């Protein structure tokens, strides 16, 4: 591959505090550097470390070239560049190890920019008012026009940035400063607000929140139920009492639609079906209203941190006609589950006079529920 990555992780990060440098502190159960390395999976990586961190790096960075850094950031970058010299690399991304949330989209934009420029770096325009201050007091303001907040990774044509670092006297804030001192043109690429650098303790909370969003857990469950017709003058369907010349036979109120939906939620949680939680052999559930079952299922989802993204119930029958009651059914189910009506779908179909539903011997229902956590 002609593009390689240098991750600079030799600093001590004194502003963060803690017993170990920030790049080795835990973020969602893994070192910060583990997240940073994962963002560049598939690229050849040179990880520039402090000599004291060699043992940690050996454990973490399998398949990564380890290089010991220098006393300053630019010295560490130069060590990484020299490790890549002669390997055939033509483009390099230089990244701070304490920025674990860089996206693949940003990386792709930076690499593409090197087709037309010596370098490219992500940045965000400064939008807040800027002050000058002294001794805790505001002493003036600063025009923010044309000012940007710099980020990494910063991308360069390899030979050009290596030569620029070799010629630089040292003390640069970042690699763009080194590149510009050598006369290289550097394109500003739109950065990302989520691409934060962990500098202070509060930054970890922001990174945790962002990673929780990235690690969204989506569960899908299906449910199916059938009830036969019996004597009666109404049926309960999705929480609505629908007049009909017959009733539905069941241990509870035989709400076939609600039973299918309840089983779909249990299924998404891998918690069995209604029979496991409300055994038909238990007389206390004889004639019970099915909203008890649905409320129980959605309550279990809530207890595990899941919310209902949407659900879809299809009733299969020739009679009664569902259309006139579908909106009321949506409303009833949404109320029981405490969600917006727009997350609940109820519809019906026939079986074209085929099978037991076609012969009007009963009603079937199919339901799907999507649960989301994170």
Considering the domain architecture, whether residues 198 and 246 belong to the same structural domain is answered as no
Last residue of a domain, one of 214, 237, 255: 214
Residue ending a domain, choose from 214, 248, 281: 214
pLDDT for 18: 63
Assess whether 209 and 252 both reside in one domain.
Answer: no
Residues spanned by the domain of 332: 217-373
- Per-residue pLDDT tens listing for the chain (374 residues): 799 999 999 987 655 556 788 899 988 888 999 999 999 999 999 999 999 999 988 888 778 999 999 999 999 999 999 999 999 999 999 999 999 999 999 999 999 999 999 999 999 999 999 999 999 999 999 999 999 999 999 999 999 999 999 999 999 999 999 999 999 999 999 999 999 999 888 888 888 877 766 557 899 999 999 999 999 999 999 999 999 999 999 888 999 999 999 999 999 999 999 999 999 888 888 888 999 999 999 999 998 889 999 999 999 999 999 999 999 999 999 999 999 999 999 999 999 999 999 999 999 999 999 999 86
Q: Rounded to two decimals, what is the model's pTM?
A: 0.61
Is residue 225 domain-shared with residue 134, that is, in the same domain?
Answer: no
Same domain as 60, residue 27: yes
Whether the upstream peptide bond of residue 320 has omega within 30° of 0, thus cis, is yes
pLDDT in tens, 58-111: 888 778 999 999 999 999 999 999 999 999 999 999 999 999 999 999 999 999
Q: Alpha-carbon distance 280 to 264, whole Å? A: 18
CATH number for the domain including 334?
Answer: 3.30.1330.50
Under a CB-based contact definition with an 8 Å cutoff, are residues 237 and 257 in contact?
yes
Q: What's the rounded Cα separation, in Å, for the pair 340 and 310?
A: 9
210 and 221 in a common domain: no
The DSSP symbol for 3 reads E
Q: What is the pLDDT of residue 135?
A: 94
Same domain, 192 and 223: no
Spatial distance between the Cα atoms of 274 and 253, rounded to a whole number of angstroms = 13
* Whole-angstrom distance, CA of residue 48 vs CA of residue 11: 10
CATH code: domain of residue 158: 3.90.550.10
Is 369 in contact with 265 (CB distance < 8 Å)?
yes
The number of folded domains in the chain is 2
Rounded to whole angstroms, how far apart are CA atoms 30 and 137? 41
85 in the same domain as 190: yes
Distance in Å from the first CA to the final CA of the chain: 36
Same domain, 161 and 26: yes
Pairing of strands 45-49, 3-9: parallel
Q: Is there a single domain that holds both residue 234 and residue 319?
A: yes
Q: From 161, 180, 214, give the residue that closes a domain.
A: 214
Spatial separation of the C-alpha atoms in residues 187 and 200, rounded to whole Å? 29
Asked if residue 153 has a cis previous peptide bond (ω within 30° of 0), the answer is yes
**256 and 191, same structural domain?**
no
**Which residues lie below 8 Å from residue 172, measured CB to CB, with a gap of 6+?**
73, 74, 178, 181
**Residue 264, burial from CB neighbour count under 10 angstroms (0-12, 13-18, 19+):** buried
Mark whether 231 and 179 lie in a shared domain. Answer: no
Tell me, yes or no, whether 296 and 157 share the same domain. Answer: no
């Amino acid at each position: 591959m002609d593009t390689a990555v240098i991750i600079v992780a030799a600093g001590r990060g004194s502003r963060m505090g803690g017993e170990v440098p920030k790049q080795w502190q835990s973020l969602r159960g893994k070192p910060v550097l583990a997240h940073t390395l994962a963002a560049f999976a598939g690229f050849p990586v040179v990880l520039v470390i402090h000599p004291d961190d060699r043992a940690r790096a050996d454990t973490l960075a399998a398949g990564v070239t380890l290089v010991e850094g220098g006393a300053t950031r630019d010295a560490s970058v130069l060590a990484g560049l020299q490790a890549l010299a002669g390997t055939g690399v033509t483009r390099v991304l230089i990244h701070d190890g304490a920025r674990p949330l860089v996206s693949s989209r940003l990386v792709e934009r930076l690499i593409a920019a090197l087709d037309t420029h010596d370098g490219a770096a992500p940045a965000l325009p400064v939008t807040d008012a800027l002050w000058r201050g002294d001794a805790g007091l505001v002493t003036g303001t600063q025009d923010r026009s044309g000012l940007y907040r710099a980020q990494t990774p910063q991308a360069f044509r390899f030979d050009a940035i290596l030569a620029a670092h070799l010629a630089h006297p040292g003390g640069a804030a970042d690699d763009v400063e080194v590149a510009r001192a050598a006369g290289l043109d550097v394109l500003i690429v739109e950065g990302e607000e989520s691409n934060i650098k962990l500098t202070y303790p509060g930054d970890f909370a922001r990174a945790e929140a962002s990673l929780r969003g990235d690690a969204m857990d989506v569960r899908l469950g299906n449910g199916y139920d059938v009830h036969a017709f019996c004597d009666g003058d109404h049926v309960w369907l999705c929480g609505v009492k629908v007049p009909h010349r017959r009733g539905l036979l069941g241990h509870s109120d035989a709400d076939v639609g609600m039973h299918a939906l309840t089983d779909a939620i249990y299924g998404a949680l891998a918690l069995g079906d209604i029979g496991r939680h409300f055994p038909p052999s238990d007389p206390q559930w004889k004639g019970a209203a099915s909203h008890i079952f649905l409320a129980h299922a959605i309550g279990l989802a809530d207890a595990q941190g899941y919310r209902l993204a949407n659900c879809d119930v299809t009733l299969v029958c020739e009679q009664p006609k569902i259309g006139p009651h579908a909106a009321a059914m949506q409303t009833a189910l949404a109320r029981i589950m405490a969600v917006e009506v727009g997350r609940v779908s109820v519809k019906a179909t026939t079986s074209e006079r085929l099978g037991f539903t076609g012969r009007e011997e009963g009603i079937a229902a199919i339901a799907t529920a999507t649960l989301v956590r994170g």
